[in-house]
Amino acid sequence: MSADEFDIIAKLFAPLATSAAARGLIDDVAVITAGGQMLATTDAIVEGVHFLESDPIETVAKKALRVNLSDLAAKGARCSGVLLTLIWPDHRRSSEIADFVRGLAEDLEFYKAPLLGGDTVASPGPLTVSITAFGDMSGARTPSRADAKLGEDVWVTGAIGEAWVGLEALLEMGMVAGAAGLGTEFAACIDRYRTPEPPVAFADAIAAFASASMDVSDGLLQDAAKLAAASNLRLVIAAERVPLSGETRAWLARGKLDAAAALAGGDDYQILFTAAPQQRAAIEAAGQARKLAVTRIGAVEAGAGVSLVDGEGRPLATKAHGYAHKLGK
Ligand code: ADP
Ligand code: MG
């Protein structure tokens, strides 16, 4: 197959861009009809930073889309369209682009996300995929990080720490001879690192019940601190209430690490939100109806920052924080 950008657009991307707004990918723009407020978000993933060169290329496409769907779900919104910028490195075979597009096609279909357009360029640098996603609000309001109120509960969807364990396991497998067995023992965590599962089905419940909300991408503790700062309040999180999978617990036991390590690892793509205590039963019912885990992990109190506490409410010392990109030398 030719690696010419125009062939790739016509043969691989155009068949996926079936919405009228995309104009068959033969125009300079997509034409979006928006009734009221529209949400927009963008996230890029870079080889060696957000995914490993050895990750299956289908999963790279899926991850690029899902990290964006995670932002929309956290705001109680549904995806109404995406723009995709593919920056393809000279060192990779162009035949892999078809596999990338196959993974993308599966996810666009699964998440009902229309492909509106994008850009395709070659680069001497690492594989980079940037997606811009647009969203329609499910409810009347878009919860911000600043909307937490004193006395509210703190909740999180799904499980925390799996992607961190998956990355650690993959790195150890790459560096330590005889560590290949980790691929089986921590298979679910490796899957979560490569293909996060943002709880998009919970978006309408977020719109209905959440006060403040955000997605957890850079580590639960660090992201909780952002929500606390935006709301001018303190989040108190009970370490033992934070949902950890069996594999995550096994990884912590293996390295004699405490749970705070999992709470600092990133790439969870779950939703952290606050809600009034009167909403407890409704939130639990919403989780059950959607077969999604949702767990009450703490409370919003007066003050600043995040406190991690034990079962008796005593503060736990933790040096663990989260991930932040350092730019430049
Ligand atoms: P221009 O040179 O005017 O920017 P392009 O040749 O880059 O136009 O793109 C032609 C069409 O193909 C446009 O509709 C654009 O949105 C679409 N397109 C290009 N690359 C991608 C991609 N990676 N994914 C989806 N659509 C793409
Ligand atoms: Mg172009």
Q: Is the pTM of this model over 0.85?
A: yes
Which residue puts its alpha carbon closest to atom 12 of ligand 1? 25
Does the beta carbon of 143 sit less than 6 angstroms from any atom of ligand 1?
Answer: no
The tokens for 283 are: 């939130």
| DSSP annotation of 317 | P
Pocket of ligand 1 contains residue 115 by CB under 6 Å = yes
Mean pLDDT across the chain: 95
The pLDDT value recorded for residue 36 is 83
CA nearest ligand 1 atom 24, residue: 118
Q: How far apart are CA 227 and CA 225, in angstroms?
A: 5
Q: 15 C-alpha vs ligand 1 centroid, how far in Å?
A: 13
Buried b (16+ CB within 10 A) or exposed e, 10-38: eebbbebbebebbbebeeeebeeeeeeee
What distance in Å separates the CA atoms of residue 99 and residue 85, rounded to the nearest whole number?
16
Cβ(146)–Cβ(249) below 8 Å: no
Q: Is the CB of 128 under 6 A from ligand 1?
A: no
Q: How many CB atoms lie within 10 A of CB 312?
A: 6
Q: Judge contact between 244 and 257, C-beta under 8 A.
A: no
The structure tokens listed for 116 are 């509106």
Which pLDDT score, from 0 to 100, does residue 326 have?
78
Phi, psi of 173 (to 5 degrees): -65, -35
What local confidence, expressed as pLDDT, does residue 320 receive? 60
Pocket test for ligand 1, best of 28, 119, 129 (most atoms within 8 A of CB): 119
Q: Is the CB of 118 under 6 A from ligand 1?
A: yes
Interatomic CA distance for residues 296 and 308, integer angstroms: 14
| Confidence (pLDDT) at 321 | 63
- Residue 180 tokens read as 């290949």
Per-residue pLDDT at 34: 81
Whole-number Å distance, alpha carbon 152 to ligand 2 midpoint, is: 48
Give pLDDT, residue 130.
98
Q: How far is the CA of 193 from the centre of ligand 1 (A)?
A: 29
What pLDDT shows up at residue 137? 85
Query: Is the Cβ atom of 64 under 6 angstroms away from ligand 1?
Result: no
H or E, element range at 203: helix 203-209
Atom of ligand 1 nearest to the CA of 6: 6
Measure the CA–CA gap between 119 and 3, rounded to whole angstroms: 14
Q: Say if residue 190 is exposed, middle or buried (CB neighbours under 10 Å; 0-12, 13-18, 19+).
A: buried
Q: Is the CB of 81 under 6 A from ligand 1?
A: no
pLDDT for 219 equals 95
Residue type, 310: D
Closest CA to 72 of 266, 204, 243, 210: 204
Q: If you write DSSP's letter for every residue of 34-85 in order, what string do you get? A: --S--EEEEEEEEBTTTB-TTS-HHHHHHHHHHHHHHHHHHTTEEEEEEEEE
Q: pLDDT at position 322, please?
A: 67
pLDDT of 154-195, one tens digit each? 999 999 999 999 999 999 999 999 999 999 999 999 999 999
Q: Any idea which ligand is nearest the CA of 8?
A: 1
Q: Is 27 in the pocket of ligand 1 (CB under 6 A)?
A: yes
**Which atom of ligand 1 lies closest to the CA of 86?**
23
CA of 34 to the centre of ligand 1 (A): 21
Q: Is 100 in the pocket of ligand 1 (CB under 6 A)?
A: no
- What is d(CA 282, CA 284) in angstroms, rounded to the nearest whole number? 5
pLDDT at residue number 92? 96
**Which-ligand-closest: CA of 17?**
1
Which residue is listed with tokens 């209430």? Answer: 241
The single residue listed with the structure tokens 């596999």 is 99
- Residues in the chain with pLDDT values less than 70: 1-3, 319-322
| Residue whose CA is at the smallest distance from ligand 1 atom 14 | 25
CA 119 – ligand 2 centroid, Å: 5
Whole-number Å distance, alpha carbon 259 to ligand 1 midpoint, is: 45
Phi, psi of 224 (to 5 degrees): -60, -35
Nearest to 279, CA basis, from 298, 297, 296: 296
Q: Which atom of ligand 1 approaches the CA of 23 most closely?
A: 14
CA dihedral 101, 215, 237, 289 (to 10 degrees): -80
